[in-house]
């Protein structure tokens, strides 16, 4: 049937495809468009949504696009950078005045249909540097924001020209952390644009099955299957599309799996009927050799991704399957964080987006049927395909495995590390709440305003509640340049000195991390938190605290649905009391901390 359509213009923001996904969850077809597409490409759509961007509107970045869309007689809505572009086109002003990351409170004013039925105050999610400082003629402010602990009001956070049906929001309605974001999208798509809800997941399955059949033809597909949610759902979809014998599965133990992970994965795949076409390869020695001497996160990720392909090709040759297509359970966050769209910044290179695979994609040799979905949609798809809930609801586990949770170091502090320079600001923010803190001499990967942020964390300690620590952390990474993450000391000792240690990706360090991860995961299971906590990386950091030990263990429990945004999850005190002594008793461990960072500005994984 002919569906009503919303066009989403992708300016390279982290959430462009998330907008499309959220629209599709309203049962309305959303299609991605590029900023330079001719205006004819938008004919027949019911409305347009303009995404955010790593560009700065205040500096005129990305200003050369098809502005004729603004003359079309259809509703247009913009988020963040898109909001700023709407203001600029109609004569407003955008300035580089302040930045905000994470939660803010939106104060609604007036009676805009876009907010009808929502409260006057509501939580929204910010990630920006620029601000609309002057409104164009015909526009009105329909909302402004404040941040707890900051008396300054952020004007023009929501604007509208109701006559021309133009709406702009500095915050991100598309992310799960914006309290009434789905209401805003629903009001725009179903009421303002008048779209009929005719798009379903069943329809998505039908279209992907047809697409797989067309791409594969008579060729077989060799799927790298980790046993995680994404690759298992991808396997189920390929089984739906391909006849018996045309799909082969390969599970690789890269030496960076969780404790007993490969054995459990193979048993589970066989139990659900995928064992007949399953092949296994222990390539741990090969992967460890590829990581030897590497400390930079990007180099580690590339080495892991390239080694996966080397092992895949070796296995394909040994089985006589050289002409088969490579199947991957890539989902959209993998693509966008690797700078996989034209304007997106590279936050971190995922193992399934290294150069070799990009070349294979351009040659049409890769099948990725769930590449436009997020984790919550992948799980919905898995349920529709009849997969066991134990597979569908597993915690996400990255393809590089523990390789991105084992930080490596050459023993030198992070470039520009100067703890004394930041100490007065940390003290001014933290001490009124009974909290102390210090900048740590290393870096982790983060994301700020759709840009990669490879910056330093701050260690916090003191007698304070989890909510207080969250608020202190939010102010620290908002107000201190070069900081993108905060961790909370669980040892109760605090920190007087912190020195990085030389440490590489060795089997013994992976074994230590495996043991620590197993302790944490078993505790989550005992306390029935595996469904409450969306994901819980355990991170090993080569850091000597107060002249003792070699490793800091950081626990990173988060609440999320799609991994594009996340909030730190509070762990019960009794759980921490159980695992603390066991973790601190591991050989060489000097401290234990809880990551209390939102995404943005810190990514879920540390590398």
Point out the residues that are catalytic: 80, 172, 174
350 φψ region: left (φ > 0), alpha (ψ -120 to 50), beta (else) = beta
Give yes or no for a contact between 159 and 124, defined as CB atoms under 8 angstroms apart. no
Looking at residue 346, the DSSP 8-state letter turns out to be: B
Rounded to 10 degrees, the C-alpha dihedral 569/570/571/577 comes to 140
Rounded to 10 degrees, the C-alpha dihedral 441/444/448/450 comes to 150
How far is CA 163 from its chain centroid? 37
The token pair that represents 115 in the structure block = 């907010």
Cα distance between residue 147 and residue 154, in whole Å: 9
Looking at residue 386, the DSSP 8-state letter turns out to be: T
Handedness of CA 532, 253, 452, 333 (dihedral sign): negative
The token pair that represents 162 in the structure block = 């109701």
Q: What residue has token string 């150069």?
A: 355
Name residues whose C-beta falls within 8 Å of residue 537's C-beta, 6 or more positions apart in sequence: 405, 555, 556, 604, 605, 606
Residue 570 CB-density burial (10 A; 0-12 exposed, 13-18 middle, 19+ buried): middle
Give yes or no for a contact between 481 and 444, defined as CB atoms under 8 angstroms apart. no
Whole-Å CA distances, 541 to 142, 203, 510, 598: 46, 45, 12, 19
The token pair that represents 183 in the structure block = 């209401």
- The phi, psi pair for 309, rounded to 5°, reads -70, -40
Residue 525 CB-density burial (10 A; 0-12 exposed, 13-18 middle, 19+ buried): exposed
Element (H, E) at 403: none
Cβ neighbour number for residue 584 with a 10 Å cutoff: 15
Cα distance between residue 129 and residue 97, in whole Å: 7
DSSP assignment of 560-590: -SSSSSBEEPPPPHHHHHHHHHHHHTSTTEE
> Strand 100-108 relative to strand 121-128: parallel, antiparallel, unpaired?
antiparallel
How far is CA 262 from its chain centroid? 25
**CA proximity to 501, closest of 412, 606, 586:** 412
Cβ neighbour number for residue 314 with a 10 Å cutoff: 13
**CA proximity to 447, closest of 409, 411, 477:** 477
**CA proximity to 443, closest of 425, 452, 455:** 455
- Quick check: bond before 344 cis, omega within 30? no
Cα distance between residue 142 and residue 120, in whole Å: 11
């Amino acid at each position: 049937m002919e569906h009503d359509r919303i066009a989403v213009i992708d300016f390279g923001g982290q959430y462009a495809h998330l907008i499309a996904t959220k629209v599709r969850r309203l049962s309305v077809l959303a299609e991605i468009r590029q900023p330079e597409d001719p205006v004819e490409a938008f004919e027949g759509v019911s409305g347009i949504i303009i995404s955010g961007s790593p560009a700065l509107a205040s500096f005129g970045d990305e200003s050369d696009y098809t502005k004729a869309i603004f003359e079309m007689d259809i509703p247009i809505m913009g988020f963040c950078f898109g909001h700023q572009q709407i203001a600029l086109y109609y004569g407003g002003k955008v300035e580089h005045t302040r930045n905000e990351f994470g939660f803010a409170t939106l104060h609604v004013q007036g009676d805009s249909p876009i907010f009808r039925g929502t409260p006057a105050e509501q939580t929204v999610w910010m990630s920006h540097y620029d601000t609309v400082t002057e409104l164009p003629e015909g526009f009105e402010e329909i909302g402004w924001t404040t941040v707890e602990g900051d008396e300054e009001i952020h004007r023009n956070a929501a604007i509208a020209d109701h006559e021309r049906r133009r709406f702009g929001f500095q915050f991100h309605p598309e992310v799960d952390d914006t309290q009434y974001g789905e209401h805003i999208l629903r009001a725009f798509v179903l009421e303002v644009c008048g779209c009929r809800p005719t798009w379903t997941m069943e329809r998505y399955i039908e279209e992907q099955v047809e697409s797989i059949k067309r791409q594969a033809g008579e060729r077989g597909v060799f799927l790298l299957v980790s046993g995680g949610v994404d690759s298992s759902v991808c396997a189920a979809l390929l089984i739906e599309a391909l006849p018996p014998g045309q799909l082969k599965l390969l599970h690789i133990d890269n030496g960076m799996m969780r404790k007993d992970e490969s054995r459990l994965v193979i048993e589970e795949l066989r139990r659900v009927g995928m064992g007949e076409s399953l092949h296994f390869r222990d390539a741990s020695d090969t992967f460890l050799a590829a990581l030897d001497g590497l400390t930079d996160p990007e180099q580690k990720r590339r080495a892991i991704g390239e080694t996966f392909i080397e092992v895949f090709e070796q296995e394909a040759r040994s089985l006589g399957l050289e002409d088969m297509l490579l199947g991957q359970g890539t989902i959209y966050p993998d693509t966008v964080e690797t700078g996989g769209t034209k304007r997106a910044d590279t936050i971190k290179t995922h193992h399934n987006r290294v150069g070799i695979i990009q070349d294979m994609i351009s040659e049409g040799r890769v099948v990725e049927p769930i590449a436009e979905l997020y984790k919550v949609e992948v799980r919905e798809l898995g349920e529709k395909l009849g997969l066991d809930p134990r597979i569908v609801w597993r915690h996400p586990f990255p393809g590089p495995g523990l390789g991105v949770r084992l930080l490596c170091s050459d023993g030198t502090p992070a470039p520009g590390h100067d703890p004394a320079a930041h100490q007065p600001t940390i003290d001014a923010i933290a001490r009124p709440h009974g909290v102390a803190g210090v900048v740590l001499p290393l870096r982790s990967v983060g994301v700020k305003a759709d840009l990669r942020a490879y910056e330093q964390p701050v260690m916090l300690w003191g007698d304070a509640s989890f909510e207080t620590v969250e608020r202190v952390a939010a102010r620290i990474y908002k107000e201190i340049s070069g900081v993108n993450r905060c961790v909370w000391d669980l040892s109760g000792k605090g920190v007087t000195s912190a020195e990085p240690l030389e440490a590489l990706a060795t089997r013994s360090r992976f074994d230590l991390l495996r043991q620590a991860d197993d302790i944490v995961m078993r505790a989550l299971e005992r306390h029935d938190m595996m469904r409450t906590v969306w994901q819980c990386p355990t991170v090993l950091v080569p850091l000597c605290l107060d002249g003792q030990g070699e490793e800091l263990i950081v626990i990173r429990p988060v609440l999320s649905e799609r991994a594009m945004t996340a909030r730190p999850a509070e762990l019960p005190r009794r759980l921490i009391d159980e695992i603390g002594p066991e973790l601190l008793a591991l050989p060489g461990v000097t401290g234990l901390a809880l990551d209390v960072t939102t995404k943005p500005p810190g990514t879920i994984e540390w590398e």
